[in-house]
Each structure stands twice: as C-alpha cells, then as structure tokens.
Amino acid sequence: MKIGDIEFGDFPLFLAPMEDVSDPPFRALCKEQGCDMMYTEFISVEGLIRDADKSVQKLDIYDYERPIGIQIFGSNISSMQRAAEIVEEAKPEVLDINYGCPVKKVVCKMSGAGILQDIPRMVKLTEAIVKSTNLPVTVKTRLGWNEQTKYIEEVAERLQDVGIKALSIHGRTRAQMYKGEADWTLIGKIKENPRVHIPIIGNGDINSPEKAVEYKNRYGIDGIMIGRASIGNPWIFRDIKHYVKTGEILERPDIFERVRAVKQHLTHSLEWKGPKLGVLEMRRHYANYFRGYRDIKPIRSLLVTEHDPAVLFEILDGLQERYAGVITV
C-alpha cells in the first residue's frame, strides 16, 4: 500500500486521530508497538490561523513518529487553505481532513461530519485544499449523515477525482455517533468499485487480531485504522501484526509491562504538557490500562485524585508488587 510516496507494505495499521488521546506521549507507545502511521489529534483551522496555543501545540511531531499525518477540521475554504500552509511548515508526511467527527459543537458549524449534509461543498473544499498544498491529502469520514444519506460510494469517487491519496472510512453514520455495530459492507463495495484506485482504510469496532484479519479478508480493505480499542492498549498493534504473520495470539501484557507503559506515558505527558495538565490528562487513561484486574477500583481512585507525580509513580510501583503473576480476568 502507498500514500503519495510513502510505502507501507501489506496491510498497514493506523492510529486514528482522537481528541485528548492521540497526543505525542500516547503516539510514542503506539509506534513502539508497531503502528505503521499515526495521526495527530484533530486541529481546528480557526484556532490554527489565529495562533491559539492549544491548536499550535498539536502540530508538535517528532522524528521517531514518522510517517505521521496532521489532521485539521473546518468549513471555511480560505481558513482551510491557510491552515494547510501552516501544516505544511510543520513537515508531516500527510495532511488529513476530518469529515467524520460527530460531536455537536463541530457539526453545527458544518465541520467534521456536519459537511456530510452537503457533499458538493465537501468536494469543493477538498479540491481547494489539495491545490493549496504539496503534501498528500487524505480524508477520514463516515458512511453518511444518517441512514437515508449513505453516499459514501459516490463520495469516494468524487474525492479521489479531486486528488486525495487515501480515504479512511468509519463504518457508522453521524446519527449513530459511536452506538451500534459498525457496518463495513459499503466499505467493501468501494473496494470492489473498479473506478476507485486509492487506498481504502477501514475503521470501526476493530478490537482484536482475529477481527482485524476477518475484516481484511471479508472486505478487502488496504489497511485498518484503530481508535478506541487502542486506548490503554497500545499492544493491539503488536498483537494484530503478530497474528497476521503467524496466526498466533500473543499473551496479554502482564502488570510489569502495563506499569512500564503507564510510567512512560505519564513521564512524556509531564514533559510535554507540564506538571498540572500532565497529571490531569493522564487520568482518563488509567482505567483502560488496568482493566481486568480484580479489586483495582480503590487504586484507580488514588491515581485519578493524586496531584503529585512522585506519589503517582509510587502507586504504580505498588501495583507491580500487588499484581505480580496475576492474570487479568
């Protein structure tokens, strides 16, 4: 598989852009575990062109992360074009456009999945961005706005025609948000369409090596993008790659490997965000890292209420002693 001049080999795995999740500290762990390409958290173009600190910080990328894509969202053509120029200065390998975020505060401005209500506008906006940058442009979107507007087959052709280099598709409509089961049948139909020659990356509900291979074989997709299943579980990339290669399921990481990953995540979070935000924004991750351990709730409560990084590291060390040799349930 290839995006622009980037060669990935067979069946690459991608980390989905996730707000407040796919930041540099988390991306480092996913890369270490075999993720082929990662995307930044999505960045507001209006924040970017106004030099808002939060938006600009999301442009931070590191050499060990490459290849990497920076994802932007917005609805105004001139703002998107200016943001594309700013993104190009950050030197990612790919510029990705978010046409899939279902959150109300995004879609009400016709950004994210909101633009699925106006396909001609989506195509016009995409074409303008493709023409304004030398970077390969990719798109992440959904099947449609609702059950009555699943126009993704037409969208795939039209976006390809204006120059995008790959399309990632989440198998839900905006109306579904993240509920119900992702439907990959239309993603499979796009792969069967002889007119479509760009890589098609499937996204939605891939939470195990077995499911990844099943969907690869059933729908013929070029790669898989993993989002929520990677939170607190960067090992999913390693596990899928091993299963694709050998057909074997790896053992789940033990408490020592989990604590090592959390310490690394916390250390990088403190370095990148500072002591206050670094502590606060790690709190959403602890439950996922330690899911499945019996009687973990009181310890997790300590992790999400403690402010002192030194104490947090002590609590993590205590977890290793308490759960040494314990298999998660």
Whole-angstrom distance, CA of residue 86 vs CA of residue 202: 28
DSSP tag of 250? P
In the chain, the amino acid numbered 170 is H
Contact 189, 157 (CB under 8 A): no
Are 96 and 107 in contact by the 8 Å Cβ rule? The answer is no
Residue 138: strand pairing partners? 96, 166
Assess contact for 2 and 197: CB atoms under 8 A: no
Taking the C-alpha atoms of residue 64 and residue 228, their distance in angstroms, rounded to an integer, is 23
Q: Which two tokens stand for residue 271?
A: 């370095």
Q: Is 101 a catalytic residue?
A: yes
Distance CA(16)–CA(41), nearest Å, equals: 9
Kindly give the residue spans of alpha helices, DSSP state H, lying in the chain: 24-32, 45-49, 53-57, 77-89, 104-107, 119-132, 152-161, 185-192, 209-219, 235-246, 255-273, 275-280, 286-289, 297-303, 309-322
Q: Could you give the CA distance from residue 243 to residue 300 in angstroms, rounded to a whole number?
A: 31
Q: What residues contact 104, with CB distance under 8 A and at least 6 apart? A: none
Q: Which helix (H) or strand (E) holds 38?
A: strand 37-39
Q: Using DSSP bridges, classify how beta strands 2-3 and 6-7 pair: parallel, antiparallel or unpaired.
A: antiparallel
Catalytic amino acids? 101
